[in-house]
């Protein structure tokens, strides 16, 4: 529960809020969409083969 509160607080305020907003905007442009597609493709390949502590490292 404490972790959940920290995550919610982190998402709502602070100097990182502008950074998160800019990142969201960047992911709507072609390079961001390309990177996101590449990451998803790699994760689809890798995730089925991982278990336990290997998943925690991701």
What pLDDT is recorded for position 9? 62
Q: Alpha-carbon distance 48 to 22, whole Å?
A: 32
pTM as predicted: 0.56
What pLDDT is recorded for position 4? 60
What pLDDT is recorded for position 51? 79
Over residues 30-50, the mean pLDDT reads 91
| Tens-digit pLDDT profile for residues 1-38 | 665 666 556 556 556 778 888 888 988 999 999 999 99
DSSP strand E in the chain: where? Answer: none
15 or 44, which is more confident? 44
Give the angle subtended at the CA of 23 by the CAs of 13 and 33, to the nearest 5°. Answer: 150
């Amino acid at each position: 529960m404490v972790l959940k509160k920290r995550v919610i607080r982190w998402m709502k305020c602070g100097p990182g809020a502008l950074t998160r907003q800019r990142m969201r905007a960047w992911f709507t442009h072609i390079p961001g969409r390309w990177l996101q597609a590449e990451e998803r493709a790699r994760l689809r390949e890798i995730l089925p083969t991982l278990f336990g502590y290997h998943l925690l490292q991701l």
